[in-house]
Amino acid sequence: MILSGNSDIISQCEYFPEGIQVNSQWLSFSNGLVLVLHAEFLALYKNAQSIGDELGNGLIELVDLPVANRLFQGDNGFVSEYKAGFVGLMDDKVILITPNDIQLFTHKMDALRNQNELARLQLA
């Protein structure tokens, strides 16, 4: 399933409920990078084609999520909304995409205050 939204950063949001990428959601960025969301991890790839590379040549960074911080998956994936550098998740967690980092927070207020970060992927 593909969500549509208005974003300067995210060009496509696609959920894979089955198949080889089962239970993952891909956020494709306008510059070609792809952020893969899974209940147990966040991964950043240089492009969509490199996600299937068994040697991991296109993997930029991966962060495992501890059990307490895992993402909740709804019927249409993990993402409930996205706009510009903000990604709202089904369980009220928030991902902020900035020029230097991708950060996961427990909720919007923590993201606004840059507090209680759960995970970080570096872009630069």
Q: Distance between CA 37 and CA 102 in Å, rounded?
A: 12
What does the pLDDT average to over 65-72?
95
For the chain, domain boundaries: 2-122
pLDDT digits (tens, 9 = 90+) for 96-108: 999 899 999 999 9
pLDDT at position 1 = 45
Give dist(CA 37, CA 27) in Å, integer.
8
- What does the pLDDT average to over 11-32? 90
pTM of the model: 0.89
- Asked if 110 and 94 touch (Cβ cutoff 8 Å), the reply is yes
Nearest to 36 by CA among 46, 47, 25: 25
